[in-house]
Amino acid sequence: MTKPIEHFQHRAEQSPNAIAVAGPGEPFTYRRLLANVHALAAALQSLDPEPGSRVGICARNTVEHLIALLATYSAGKVWVPLAPNNSRTDLDRMIGATRPTLFVADESCLYRFTPTGAPLVLGKTTIPPGEMPSVRTLIGEWNGRHPTVIARDERDAQIIKFSGGSTGAPKPVVQSVRCVSAQIEGILACFELDAGDVNLIAAPLTHGASCFVLPILSVGGRHVMLEEPKAPRVLDAIEKYAVTTIYAPPTLIYSMLEDPSVRTRNYGSMRHLIYSAAPMRPEQIREAQRVFGPVIETAYGQVEAPQIITAMRARELEHDEYLTSIGRQSPVAEVAIMSPAGDLLPNGETGEIVVRGPLVMNGYLDRPEMTAQTIVDGWLRTGDLGMRDDRGYVFIRGRLRELINTGGFKVFPGDVEAVLAKHPAVVECSVFGVPDEKWGEAVHAAVCVSDGASVTAAELVAFVKADLGSVKAPKTIHFVTELPRNAAGKVSRAAVRSMVGGRPT
């Protein structure tokens, strides 16, 4: 099997003068980027000669971050992404679980975690050369050198990322060489990327945006790095660099749509605006299509099976019946719907979404019991409830652990959220269960309303009752100004529940 880094290396040999990084700043050709990656990889091996050791990278979307990520792969080491938007407590917990023996961190991120004594290389920095080793100084010192080639088995770890979903403590997920290679293959097959693609890395490299780094480089495309993903800068970059491709969580798309200049821009270069990490309501998808063109696409994945379990192309999302779907299975994942008893269900029935194939993780680091509970008979249990129709389109109905049992009736939070979201006053909502003496669990909803809108809790409850009936209608509405999210940008039901405390506001 081709190692993930070899996809980039092969393209650099074939197209050395093509632009790999278009900006900001001085462009990098494939030849220059590969030389920098080789030099830094050799330096990392010098700092820690142990094959397969772990490199924690805490950085924003900079060229230094990109080079360090690729150099980690080239050095035969394991990448541990440490998102700077996490708390110091969370990052220290992640570092304790993964035990990196090397760190790369932007100067601005040094306060985000507690030093462990392991060697530290600065990413983006203003510290004068010589005071501390940095990506740039090490590239200069090791210029022209190549790393020792490290043999890698397909089951060897390539990435350790943390998964928490919308509930629970983060879990260290071991993505293998096989898993990362399958992800590259799946993204290329699903979205048909080519050498003409210009990919804007606006979402954090520590999260889903990293999934597109090697697919783009493998076909000879180019990246544009955006350190601060503010909407005006994203829109500026689209026009300046003729961006064709963006991966974005819905929150970033919403901020782009809310920018005052969004309808005065030129999006003629755009081919792929791929959202993931959370669902978008149908009317939000339609608005994005009206503004950016017929380029909105989606992908579904988890850290346990990254990014490309299913995918939906722009032409499919033009059909109303698929607006709430996550698409069909990719070539690197077999998707099924499973009953609580472990039986595979026919199309049209709701159960847990399960997946198997080369995309699936090795397991959770140092957590064999948790791994055994999650991967059963080769099937990864996603924890997502869903249904597949006769054409193979998959629809998510909620999280298995978030299923609400009220008075003996099962209520899927996603069903209630979909109806609430249709109300013109509702901007965003989250539905969850709260322990109740009478019902066992009562359906509650936290709702953000649009500026200037006037709506009562009784009106919203009646609105849901008219569509879903009394059982599924919320017993309580909590009006909030915003919904708490986790580091990946997903609304956290556990945090919502904790925030409102079961009391209406």
pLDDT digits (tens, 9 = 90+) for 210-259: 999 999 999 999 999 999 889 999 999 999 999 999 999 888 998 999 99
pLDDT in tens, 22-60: 999 999 999 999 999 999 999 999 999 999 999 999 999
Locus of tokens 């509702």: 426
Question: Can you tell me the distance from the alpha carbon of 103 to that of 57, in angstroms, rounded to the nearest whole number?
Answer: 6
**More confident site: 409 or 366:** 366
103, 121 Cβ separation under 8 angstroms: yes
Structure confidence at residue 14 (pLDDT): 97
Over residues 272-282, mean pLDDT: 87
Whole-number average pLDDT of the chain: 92
Boundaries of CATH 3.40.50.12780 in the chain? Answer: 4-386
pLDDT at 412: 81
The answer to whether the Cα torsion of 451, 468, 342, 347 is positive or negative is negative
What CATH code is assigned to 4-386? 3.40.50.12780
Band of the pLDDT at 474, cuts 50, 70, 90? very high
pLDDT of residue 487: 66
Least confident segment among 4-8, 227-231, 327-331: 227-231
Give pLDDT, residue 2. 81
| Angstrom distance (rounded) from CA 405 to CA 141 | 63
What is the C-alpha separation between 40 and 35, in angstroms, rounded?
Answer: 9
pLDDT of res. 489: 72
pLDDT of residue 490: 78
3-class DSSP state of 130: coil
Please give the pLDDT value at position 167.
42
Quick one: tokens of 473? 């209608």
- pLDDT at position 505 is 44
In this structure, how many other beta carbons lie within 10 angstroms of the beta carbon of residue 283?
Answer: 12
Give the tens place of pLDDT for each residue, 414-448: 889 989 999 999 999 999 988 887 777 889 999 99
pLDDT at residue 169 tops 70 = no
Q: Is 155 helix (H, G, I), strand (E, B) or coil?
A: coil
Structure confidence at residue 332 (pLDDT): 97
User: Where do the DSSP E strands lie in 340-468?
Assistant: 351-356, 363-364, 375-376, 379-388, 394-399, 404-406, 409-411, 426-436, 440-449
Pinpoint the residues of the chain covered by CATH 3.30.300.30: 404-500
Q: What is the pTM of this model?
A: 0.84
**pLDDT at position 471:** 82
Return the CATH class of domain 404-500: alpha beta
Strands (DSSP E) contained in 313-425 are: 328-329, 334-338, 351-356, 363-364, 375-376, 379-388, 394-399, 404-406, 409-411
Query: Higher model confidence: residue 129 or residue 190?
Result: 190
Considering the chain, what percentage of its residues have pLDDT values greater than 90? 77
351-401 tens-digit pLDDT: 999 999 999 999 999 999 999 999 999 999 998 899 999 999 999 887 777
pLDDT (mean) for 307-331: 95
Q: How far apart are CA 411 and CA 403, in angstroms?
A: 6
pLDDT in tens, 265-276: 999 999 999 998
Determine the average pLDDT of the residues in 282-286: 90
Average pLDDT of 330-344?
A: 95
pLDDT confidence tier of residue 403, bands split at 50, 70 and 90: confident
Asked whether the CA dihedral 28, 30, 33, 35 is positive or negative, the reply is: negative
The yes-or-no verdict on residue 166 having pLDDT over 50 is no
Residue-level pLDDT at 504: 47
Percent of the chain residues topping a pLDDT of 70:
97
Q: Closest by alpha carbon to 163, among 374, 432, 5?
A: 374
